[in-house]
Structure 1
Amino acid sequence: MEAYAELLATERYGSGEPWQYVAKDGSMERRRDSREAESRGNTFITVFKSVFLPQGYPDSVSGDYLQYQFWDTLQAFSSSLSGTLATQASLKGVGVGNQEATVAAATVTWLLRDGTSMLGRIVFAWLKGNKLDSEAKKWRLFADILNDIAMFMEILAPFYPACFTLIVCTSGIFKSVVGVAGGATRAALTVHQARRDNMADISAKDGSQETLVNLAGLLVSLILIPLVTDNPALTLTLFFLFTALHLFANFKAVRSVVMETLNEARLAILLRHFLRDGHVLTPLEANREEPVFLEFRKTLPIKLGVRLQEVVQRPEELRLAMRKDAPFLLGVTNGCVRVCLASHAHTRDEIKAMCQAIWLSDMLNPSRQHHGLKEMLQKSYKLMDVEFDRFLKGVEAAGWDATRTLLDWDEWRLEWNPKIR
């Protein structure tokens, strides 16, 4: 008859299967809660998870992590194969396999390509670096589309030897933009995925996943290269197939991301739904409606954190626009809604200012009829005074993080004289 085993404690690793500690025959024994031995398959899965997934998965990451990583892995694999075809074309274009080509000419072409890429990286980071946090999904997808265009140019370049250097330099500029946008947006998504201040772990495991995918792509490429050599038709056919898979997987990847922080697009979606039916969408619902392609605005653009002179030009205009202890000042000039922010403004004030700017931008749309600008400004202030507190409570109740935002504020801040009124 089996001796009585007294349960001492139960433990689990993250959300894994629990283990029991029991006292038996004067000693402490550790065993599964289910009292089943760990199988070899389970051991392999456990090791695989520990190598390629962040510690504490799935509790240590956001709920959309696995779905995003699946599509991201698929797009990385197809991009790796497309890159092999593009690299082969580039090497052929600089003279590999051509006895008449010189080492000096090939070196100059490669140096020009690298030089233009470096300049492109600096210029793009200067012009658009501040947009990559607030519009991470759009720029992530844009980067991958641009990467496919760059690889297509490299494949076509050998067919136009007179323009080869120009084509590969242009391709290099595109790829430099891809490097900046792709790396920065990946970092922004890692911040979103990290739930235990484990950004470094998530980033490291993402690198391991990418390395494994690239290794698989390398093995497949070894099979493809003999088939596509001196076969332009097959090269282009395979490239378009891999590109189609790459773009589809990228679209699904960014669509699967559910961010709980507010940027302009998500806040606009929430506000419009709230003003229409009084309901605040959840993060999942709003993220489904968020556009993921860069687009031309159909409403007035909004600029946040601008200089005072961009909103008012005369003292009397400032007196009319000022409100007691106002945390922001809003105006419409040169076809743009502009917001000045006070130095004492908090995150709540930033959200309120953005809501008012979004409403004005929608109402002043050229396709809509509206009253005078001054009347619309006054109406926007009254609307926020009445509705904003209820709206913000609904936002927090729906699961949004209202303690920080991804709104694209510039750095100008005001301290106006309280005696001007």
Structure 2
Amino acid sequence: MSQRGSAWTSEDSAVVCTERYGSGSIQKYMQHEDGTISCERPHTQQHYRSIRDCFVSLFLPHGFPHSVSDDYLEYQLWDTLQAFSSSVTGSLATHSLLRGSGVGDSSATVTAATITWILRDGTGMVGRILFAWMKGSRLDCDAKRWRLFADVLNDVAIFMEILAPIFPSCFTLTVCAAGVFKCIVGVAGGATRAALTVHQARRDNMADVCAKDGSQETLVNLAGLLISLLVIPLVSDSPWVTYLLFVCLTSLHIYANYRAVRSIVMETLNQSRLSIVLEYFLREGRILSPAEANCREPLLPGLGWQVPVSVGVPLSTVVSSVSHMKLLKKGNDSLYLLGWRKDTGRLAVVLHERARSVDIIRSVVHAEVLHQRSGSTDPVRFSILAETHGLVSHMFPDFHNGLCASGWTTDRNVLDSDDWRANWDTSKEH
């Protein structure tokens, strides 16, 4: 076995092999005069390392840090802080709900409290189904934005539950509304957590990353429960102290969530990140790295700019006649048809059945370029469309190569493409 040149000292001359477990300390295998081999482990800080290794084994994925993304640890630290804050404020909300339901009030009935709880759970279930139907496909595309939205909405729901006992006549309505919000939080938070787990798991270890995330959350919630046992008796008779504590913990919760989401560096392209990268490329001639683009990605709804384009729509959404289709194909040798929706006038993309992820990325890039140049009348719009086909055909190969070289993933994307696919003659129309 070859040695590492000058890296070995004279006293290491009997070393025949070194090894380590994950990112742990290196241990040496020494050859003795009688030909036997023994393992020499580091003697320093053995007790500390054994405790550290036990902690890592319990709460971090197997093979950490090499088995997860580079942003994993920073995200988990901020996520732990926000989970602790949410756990304590959740206990405050539970205290208020029990008091509003009549616990401690001799005139309250068990039946009334049970009905309130049933209505709360029932409306929440309906809200969960409707939200998943309306926004389910968008959660993958804007996982970071929806993750932050879910946590802010959770704070709103907790605040409503804390205030509910103050307005007895509206208690049931307030509790039901808060229940709907919390169920929406469950859908958005759970779905985006799954999307982030896909990003963080780098060795096909999604189950392990998810399980260890659950262990971390359980430990944090346990700590939150212990703190709540101390805090609740102190604030139970003072609503204003409860409100002040809620404001402080919620501020910490929102800040920690923002820092957690901001620390994530996604290598897949959604429309916001693609718009940011394309705009910088057209202006500076350079592709932003995933870290650079993620730092610029807006996290709050309504912020940022992106072209309103529908990808993967039915052909009938865009094309109304054979001549219309020929106009869309003029100068076009790609596996998509870019045009305008007949109902709204927004840009839309019809995908060929052989279209792959790179073709979808190219179609959105084309939509961005076309949107910047588009005219107001049909003849002008179709003329500009034909011109942009050549522009994009010339520009996109360099853009795509730059994406790959900068670390972006192009064999998959989160551009919210629908599943409609068409089949047409892809030869270029002149």
Shorter-chain TM-score tier: over 0.9
1:378 maps to which of 373, 386, 392:
386
Residue in 2 aligned with 1:253?
260
Q: Which residue of 1 aligns with 2:40?
A: 31
With the length of structure 2 as denominator, give the TM-score of the two structures.
Answer: 0.92
Q: Which residue of 1 aligns with 2:148?
A: 141
CA distance in 2, matches of 1:111, 1:161: 18
Measured against aligned partners, the alpha-carbon deviations of 1:225-280 in whole angstroms (never above 9, x if no partner) come to 01110211001000011110000000000100001111111111111111111110
Displaced runs of 4 or more, over 6 A: 418-421
SS of residue in 1 equivalent to 2:65: coil
Q: Does 1:183 align with 2:190?
A: yes
Aligned partners of 2:225 and 2:186: how far apart in 1?
Answer: 21
Specify whether residues 419 and 39 from structure 1 end up closer, same or farther in structure 2 by C-alpha distance, changes over 3 A only.
Answer: closer
Per the TM alignment, residue 18 of structure 1 is displaced from its structure 2 partner at its CA by 0.9
Go from structure 1 to structure 2 and tell me whether the alpha carbon gap of 1:220 and 1:418 turns closer, same or farther (over 3 Å shift): closer
Q: Deviations over 1:54-79 (max 9, x none)?
A: 11111110000000001000000001
Structure 1 residues 40 and 299: alpha-carbon distance in aligned structure 2, compared to 1, 3 A threshold: closer
The CA distance in 2 between the partners of 1:19 and 1:401, in whole Å, is 37
Structure 2: gaps of 5 or more residues: 1-10
For 1:326 and 1:146, the matched residues in 2 are separated by 42
Task: Return the match for 1:166 from 173, 176, 198.
Answer: 173
Identity of aligned residues (%): 51
Shift of 1:296: 6.5
CA contact (8 A) 2:101 2:113 kept: yes
Residues 231 and 95 (structure 1), Cα distance of their counterparts in 2 relative to 1, 3 Å cut? same
Q: How does 1:184-199 map to 2 (within 5 A)?
A: 184-199=191-206
Per the TM alignment, residue 416 of structure 1 is displaced from its structure 2 partner at its CA by 2.2
Structure 2 contact 338–350 (Cα < 8 Å) conserved:
yes
Q: Is the 8 A contact 1:319 1:420 kept in 2?
A: no
* Residues 337 and 360 in structure 1, CA contact (< 8 A), matched pair in contact too: no
For 1:405, what is the secondary structure of its paired residue? Answer: coil
Residues 362 and 108 (structure 1 numbering): CA distance in 2 closer, same or farther, change over 3 Å?
farther
- In the alignment, is the contact (CA less than 8 A) between 2:164 and 2:174 conserved in 1? yes
The verdict on how the C-alpha distance between 1:345 and 1:419 changes in structure 2, with shifts beyond 3 A counting, is closer
Quick one: distance in 2 between partners of 1:325 and 1:173? Answer: 49
Partner deviation per Cα, 1:319-372 (whole Å, 9 max, x = no partner): 111256541001123241110000011221111101111223344599xxxx93
Contact 2:297 2:304 in 1 (8 A): no
CA–CA separation in structure 2 for the residues paired with 1:170 and 1:101: 22
Counterpart position of 2:367: 357
Structure 2 equivalent of residue 342 of structure 1:
352
**Residues 55, 128 of structure 1: alpha-carbon distance in 2 compared, 3 angstrom cutoff:** same
Counterpart AA for 1:398: S
CA contact (8 A) 1:330 1:338 kept: yes
Equivalent of residue 395 in structure 2, options 384, 387, 390 = 387
Give the superposition deviation at 1:299: 5.6
Q: Which runs of 5+ in 1 are unaligned?
A: none
Counterpart in the other structure of 1:66: 73
Q: How many residues align?
A: 415
The alpha-carbon deviation at position 177 of structure 1 amounts to 0.5
1:65-144 equivalences under 5 Å are: 65-144=72-151
Shift of 1:43: 1.3
1:414 match: secondary structure: coil
Distance 1:160 1:364, change over 3 A: farther
Shift of residue 173, structure 1, vs aligned partner: 0.5
What amino acid is aligned across from residue 92 of structure 1 in structure 2?
A: R
Correspondence 1:222-241 to 2 at 5 A: 222-241=229-248
CA 1:25–1:61 in 2, change beyond 3 Å: closer, same or farther? same
Cα offsets for 1:153-195 (capped at 9, x unmatched): 0011101111111111110110010000000000000000011
Bigger drift between 89-98 and 316-325 goes to 316-325
Whether contact under 8 Å (1:73, 1:213) holds in the other structure is: yes
Equivalents in 1 of 2:151, 2:229: separation in Å? 24
What CA distance in whole angstroms lies between the structure 2 residues aligned with 1:373 and 1:141? 39
Whether the 8 Å CA contact 1:79–1:246 is kept in 2: the answer is yes
| Alpha-carbon distance change, 207 to 301 in structure 1, aligned in 2, over 3 angstroms | same
Give 1:418 deviation, angstroms: 6.5
Using the size of structure 1 for normalisation, the TM-score is: 0.94
1:188-337 equivalent positions in 2, closer than 5 A: 188-295=195-302, 300-323=307-330, 326-333=334-341, 334-337=344-347
Structure 1 residue identity aligned to 2:63: G
State the shift of 1:134 in Å: 1.0
SS in 1 for 2:411: strand
